[in-house]
Amino acid sequence: MFFFVIAWLLFGFLSLGPAAFIFYYMKNKSKRSWPTKVDSNYKPRISVIVPTYNESSIILFKLINLSRLRYPKDLMEIVIVDSNSSDDTAEIVRQFSQKEPQVSIKVLVEKERRGKSHALNYALNHCNGDVIIVSDADCFWPSDILEKAMPFLADSSVGAIAGPKILLNPNQTWVTRMEEGYLKSANVLRLGESKVGSTVFFEGGFSAFKREAFDRFDPYGTGSDDCGTVIRVIQKNFRTMLVPEAKFYSTFPASFRGKLGIKLRRINQLVRVFAKYLDLLVQRKLKATKRTVVPNTLLYLFSPIALIVFILLTVFLVFSFPFLLLFFGLLIIPEIRFYFYEIFESNMLLIAAIFGIMLGKEFSIWSQPEDRRLLTKDTLRQFNLI
């Protein structure tokens, strides 16, 4: 029985402990100064790619948002790539382009819908910028985002940067409040990773890549156009960083079902991403950033397995030692309860994603979440985004 207790403590730590250790370590590192050069005079030519599919309800808001950016118009182009929408998304873009000729807009239409990464690579062939920036149609930028973000790409060692996601509806339901808390913690973690070496997590709302730092989006077929592309940037020995000044705004589903759909799809992609990192590590094809890649690879691929063993041992030991239930009394403390819930939920989703991959489930086609209806003119004006 003593063996089972020791095993229970060990697997409990392996499933719940690493995330806490990594977070507090990176939180401390996030307070350091930037180890790279930041030049406010750096203004490269940029191409902003916006992939769309049936976005007629919000695409005009997106175009207005991008047209308000404070950046030299002769150094910026907007490339809208539409994946054969069944609505008038492409036509709305064309009409806007005619009314606003000072804004350089290209409209590309795929013959068939083949997934987001395919759309981005199709658009990449038509981009003239030295920096390629990707932004989803439902994500909105402050007008000064480029002025604040581009200086971080001035350093020759930096190949890509991303911005933190800020919710437009953080207090709508308990689901959005939980997501707000998660995002704040995640942004601290990514900032620490950026200052230690590189962060391996990017968001689709604002991801900027130097042209020489990557060949194509998601070259390894992970299903993640952002994090999957970061793999190649890191493999070419460029740094990838989260820039707090590059914040962007979007909404999040108010229901648990909506949240589950987004999280499961995202984690399914991340499992594939970290499986590729593990492959590269084994082949010794990653020369740098091991201080961030290795802990996250272990966290995403091995902690879920440890959690399964921990749950089985907990059930077994509770029948023998009921007093162990007292440990769960710690959950009355809000901070511990939040941490436990997030770790438990993430690991459960990771387990589901791993089984999904084993069964060959694909998540290559992106779809519209339920929160699109929250993107109204009044909401966007309230945050000064249009």
Say which amino acid occupies 21: F
Token pair recorded at residue 87 = 């609505």
Which residues lie closer than 8 Å to 114 by C-beta, 6 or more apart? 83
Task: Evaluate whether 271 touches 354 at the Cβ level (below 8 Å).
Answer: yes
Task: Evaluate whether 80 touches 111 at the Cβ level (below 8 Å).
Answer: no
At the fourth CATH level, the homologous superfamily of domain 27-290+372-382 is: Spore Coat Polysaccharide Biosynthesis Protein SpsA; Chain A (3.90.550.10)
pLDDT given for residue 365 in this prediction: 46
Residue pLDDT, tens place only, 322-331:
766 666 666 6
Cα–Cα dist 209/234, whole Å: 12
Cα–Cα dist 340/332, whole Å: 11
Task: Evaluate whether 309 touches 257 at the Cβ level (below 8 Å).
Answer: no
Question: Could you tell me the CA-to-CA distances from 127 to 105, 107, 123, 229, 314 in Å, in that order?
Answer: 11, 11, 7, 17, 55
pLDDT given for residue 359 in this prediction: 66
Cα–Cα dist 209/27, whole Å: 25
Token pair recorded at residue 46 = 């940029």
Residue pLDDT, tens place only, 101-111:
999 999 999 98
Q: Comparing 32-41, 226-235, 298-307, which segment has the lowest mean pLDDT?
A: 298-307
Give the pTM.
0.88
If you average pLDDT over residues 295-304, what whole number do you get? 84
Token pair recorded at residue 300 = 């995403």
Helix axes 174-196, 256-282, angle to 10 degrees: 20
CA atoms within 13 A on the CB side of 239: 23
- Cα 106–221–59 angle (5° rounding)? 30
Q: What is the CA radius of gyration of the chain?
A: 22
- Dmax over CA atoms of the chain, in Å, equals 76
CA atoms within 13 A on the CB side of 273: 30
The backbone torsions φ and ψ at residue 252, rounded to the nearest 5 degrees and listed phi first, read -140, 145
Cα–Cα dist 91/112, whole Å: 17
User: DSSP states of 292-330 as a string?
Assistant: HHHHHHHHHHTHHHHHHHHHHHHHHHHHH-GGGGGGGGG
Cα–Cα dist 15/308, whole Å: 9
**Residue predicted with more confidence, 268 or 195:** 195
Alpha helices in 86-224 (DSSP H): 89-99, 116-124, 145-149, 174-196
Token pair recorded at residue 287 = 């020369």
Residue 178 has pLDDT above 80, yes or no: yes
pLDDT given for residue 324 in this prediction: 64
Residue pLDDT, tens place only, 40-60:
999 999 999 999 999 999 999
**Residue predicted with more confidence, 297 or 360:** 297
- Domain regions of the chain by residue span: 27-290+372-382
Q: Which helix (H) or strand (E) holds 275?
A: helix 256-282
pLDDT given for residue 304 in this prediction: 84
pLDDT given for residue 100 in this prediction: 92
Cα–Cα dist 241/263, whole Å: 22
Task: Evaluate whether 346 touches 300 at the Cβ level (below 8 Å).
Answer: no
DSSP 8-state symbol, 51: E
Q: How many residues does the chain have?
A: 386
Residue pLDDT, tens place only, 253-280:
988 888 888 888 888 888 889 989 999 9
Which residues lie closer than 8 Å to 178 by C-beta, 6 or more apart? 338, 341, 342
